[in-house]
Amino acid sequence: MKYVLLSALCAFLFAPIQAQTLDTLQVNKTASWGVNFANVGLSNWTAGGESSVALGTVFNAKIVRKENFGTWTSQFDFALGGARVGDKNFRKTDDNIILQSKYTKKFSEKFRTAAIAVFRTQLLNGLVYKTDPENPDEFLKNKISGLLSPGYLSLNLGFDYEPGDYMSVSFAPTSGKFTLVTDRELSEAGAFGVEKGKNTRSELGVNLLVAVDLDLMENMNLKSSLNLFTNYGTFGTIDTNWENLIVMKVNKYFNASLGTQLIYDKDILITKDDGSLGNAVQFKHILNFGFNYALY
């Protein structure tokens, strides 16, 4: 059922792009796939440490259609990674699915009306590991997230400002944020701000999205996306999602990348070290070196 829902959302976000065939002036397609691998092997190593293996993959695709009435952009981003340290099983380190569809219509040189749909989720269950007090050599697993648990759908109507090809600022005074929790266990726990036993939560508010795609120097590119949302009912309390990715191209097939993500959402309660629940800033950084192939 979860995969059916995800397929339906893909069709919802991308079907209008495929339907636009009349009066199309220009179509640009880009896609790339990458694989990252890291290994540390230790044997009789007096400095200590543990052997480790890390694997990761990323896939990005983008379609831009420019026609007489406007520009429609669709984008798909996927990342999945895991690591094994010592004799422990592989554990997830990265998991991200992002679908975005954006339509803009120019009414001046730098300003456009804009309609944007963004959907975010993950593929695999998110687990927290704790040492078993009855068996210190074993770990207890606690599921805290999964496919479509959560899933975030954002629908925005507003205006787009583009001072140049490297940057866009989208302001949507009419924005809907929908949170999905399809996992029954997480739903009954009221995870991610949904009412206990419910599968969805709807919010109406204001959304600001700032996107930057800038070449810092030769073979070095920065992509940054800052998304701010405030609910009209709790105006002034801002949900934040800030993502950054710096890609340094070594040659045609290899590159290195540094990515960060910062999240703050008042509806997400984090289990702290003392066992209490509360709001907190989530932060992730990933450094990769590996193979990358441009499909388009």
Mean pLDDT of 186-209: 96
DSSP per-residue codes, 277-294 = EE---EEEEEEEEEEEEE
Count how many domains the chain has: 1
Domain that holds residue 287: 2-41+48-294
Higher-confidence residue of 157 and 88: namely: 157
Q: Which domain CATH number covers 157?
A: 2.40.230
DSSP helix/strand/coil, 219:
coil
This prediction has a pTM of 0.89
**Maximum C-alpha span of the chain:** 69
Distance CA 258, CA 278 (A): 29
Q: How far is CA 151 from CA 146, 147, 250, 261, in A?
A: 9, 7, 35, 17
pLDDT of residue 21: 47
pLDDT in tens, 257-284: 999 999 999 988 887 777 788 889 999 9
Q: How confident is the model at residue 12 (pLDDT cuts 50, 70, 90)?
A: low
Average pLDDT, the chain: 89
Nearby residues of 140 by Cβ (< 8 Å), 6 or more positions away: 129, 130, 131, 132
pLDDT of residue 222: 97
Pairing type for strands 52-67 and 91-106 reads unpaired
Helix count (H) and strand count (E) of the chain? 2, 16
DSSP helix/strand/coil, 295:
coil
